[in-house]
Structure 1
């Protein structure tokens, strides 16, 4: 049975179990891995382990019933501090870390983690969305990371070490979470009622890149219809940039007025394009066509079209990766889409 019902991260569980058994657990951690694979859930389960009132932390088996465990689950434990990026902000506000201008270092996470524990023998702080620490926010954490308060644990949850300043990386123990295997993603989708049958669960899991969160984003049938049209456009002998950019913008806008769902949809669209160019390169090198019928048809159309150099296809793939980074940096949607499609058009002609 998986630890605390967390699937796919047994190696990380054992890593912490050994450290706690030896009494040599670090104070600061950087959890990295794809979005939506359970890093924050793991951090909360670890907090339950460290704050449980009835079982020793070295057992890695919190009771789940004591006052501390119940409060951690509810997010109300006084010794558990949690910080996350507000939906309407591009970065983690500095005030959440060190207080506002009138209360610098008298409020905020860096102050609160140094207070004496109220109920347990430790204080645990979790910074979700650590990818969105700007330079000022990251620098405000350095003293806390360099001189952690006694019996404190600080966990930063992000996606990649590259998203953090070197000064943050060097002060944290890096914990890598791997993408979940497809069978686990498919089983989670079925058991949680997010897929109507095993076939749909398998299809979503195959494109989810090990992330149930991404699988849920892919569950919209309209997304797959748009993907088919997009891949046909990308595989065409020439790219009608203005029309494609307009179609992408309109489809992204259909996700709603709020920026987060629009960004999530745009990430999926750009990801579809990146997958197309990557698999096209592999097929050129002799790999078998993908089992995905829509993707295989688009690649076949591209291969039978005008000759494209390996360099131009690779440039298109690279430009898609750049676009994904720009989405994460909250670049202007209209400008991003227009420039991305224009650059794909130029790269296809060898001009990029």
Structure 2
């Protein structure tokens, strides 16, 4: 029986960004330097496959610092942590390594600078996301106000309308954030924004690639975890850009084949914390059912690289 033809539009760039690469490398180098177990506060990146692989190598994942013994190293996830966390680790004389993505750290520094200048901060982000918790935790309570939607802006109670600045979570939808920024600027004309967009280059690039394939593909699969903000945004961006069906899958086993019946083209991409091996797995699963022709759609090339902390570079 002949397989039906299927064109796979493969988004480029896709998958791991420099911050995720660095965070995983930090855990691997820490295990090499100090041996197992090495504790990691929160998932190092939001991907079960990656986390399980590091568990097998000797990493122990916990949600809070009080679950860690004093005498073993602990690593803080790529999403960043409130200031109270490294302060507690230091008071317990723990060895700790901060794997916060440098682009998230940049937002932390921005927020602190605005605070030192007497400004109250509005953060555009998702309530409860570790990155939002980490950024808001850089400053005293009440100094950072969270908005998630354009509607939230209308109900914002600020200390002084003339003394405001905004920052954003790095993994948001570029388009949705632009709407919220516009609402903030309309209500608070004096509000100050970042010199450069807070949304990271990798988030932006992956969303642009999805937009480029959304108009060509009848369906789209985004490889990523349900708790990965940037992966979930890719599904939303694909649907908003005109793709009739977009699904988030962690592995090929989660593909809803019934939803793909009768299609002749499909877009495939991966969130910034999803490894390429899972993209290969999805394409292999498609190839079992279809006569696949892969066409890569490249909208940007990436060459960003972040160094690991000095304490681990000394090992190399």
Task: Report the TM-score when normalising by structure 1.
Answer: 0.29
More helix, by proportion: 1
More strand, by proportion: 2
Tell me: higher relative CO, structure 1 or 2? Use CA pairs within 8 A at least 6 residues apart.
2
Task: Report the TM-score when normalising by structure 2.
Answer: 0.32
Larger radius of gyration: 1
